Amino acid sequence: MTSTQMANDTRLVYDSAGLGRPAWAMTSPLLLEYYDTEWGMPVHEESALLERLCLEGFQAGLSWELVLRKREAFRAAFVGFDADLLASFGEEEVERLMNNAGIIRNRLKINAVLNNATATVALRETGGLDEFIWSFLPADTIAPESEEDIPKYTQEALDMSKALKKAGFKFVGPVTCFSLMTAIGMVDAHLVGSHRRGTSGIWPAQGPGGLTNSASR
């Protein structure tokens, strides 16, 4: 099966070892490694959460593989997504970032990172970014058998988006928020039968319906 055919397949694709993954994870070694080691695993540390949130914003209208290829350049350019350091950036730093060929040079998205860093610092007064993001953990998760079974966003993602915007964040629409939720394990969007389903420690591996998170049990 070619990479194009795999990209058009919405169900699990199995490798020679019998491990099932969604087609998108089989289109490049970079995406395969990301799927097998990172996607869907819980993230709680502030700078890591800020990175994920901002990279999801950079991905809007582009491919996630492109963002992953530039990830180390993003980390270097945005000082490890340290909120305190980023909140101190001014126009000089913005211009420097706009001249950095290693990242996605979109002024609105770059300014959104600095804005989101300032908002992240402010959130510390009421519990911090981790507590804020994870307060939208749903009571149950989806059990998709194909990519078509995965919604573009959920009510929790919509609620998160509204709350983030109210807190001053930018580029945090409900689709972006749902992508974040699946990326950090708040929603288990691994297809049923995938060897990665249930590995987050938050959700059980199998079965449609009635899947409650470990905090609810």
Structural domain spans, the chain: 3-37, 46-216
Phi-psi region of 36 (alpha: psi -120 to 50; beta: other; left: phi over 0): alpha
Tell me which architecture the domain covering 46-216 has in CATH.
Answer: Orthogonal Bundle (1.10)
Residue 137 has which token pair?
A: 């953990």
Q: Which of 34, 93, 147, 153 is catalytic?
A: 34
Residue 62 and residue 43: Cα distance in Å, rounded? 23
Of the candidates 47, 54, 41, the residue with the CA atom closest to the CA atom of residue 172: 54
For this structure, is 35 an active site residue? Answer: no
| Whether 34 is catalytic | yes
Report residue 13's pLDDT band, with 50, 70 and 90 as the boundaries: very high
Distance CA 121, CA 84 (A): 7
Q: Mean pLDDT over residues 171-185, rounded?
A: 98
Catalytic residue among 24, 35, 39, 64: 64
Average pLDDT of the residues in 172-200: 97
At 209 the pLDDT is 47
If you average pLDDT over every residue of the chain, what do you get? 92
**Are the C-beta atoms of 114 and 86 separated by less than 8 Å?**
yes
**How high is the pLDDT of residue 168?**
97
- Specify whether 56 is catalytic: yes
Please list the helix, strand and coil fractions of the chain in percent, rounded to the nearest 5, in that order: 55, 5, 45
Catalytic residue among 35, 56, 134, 203: 56
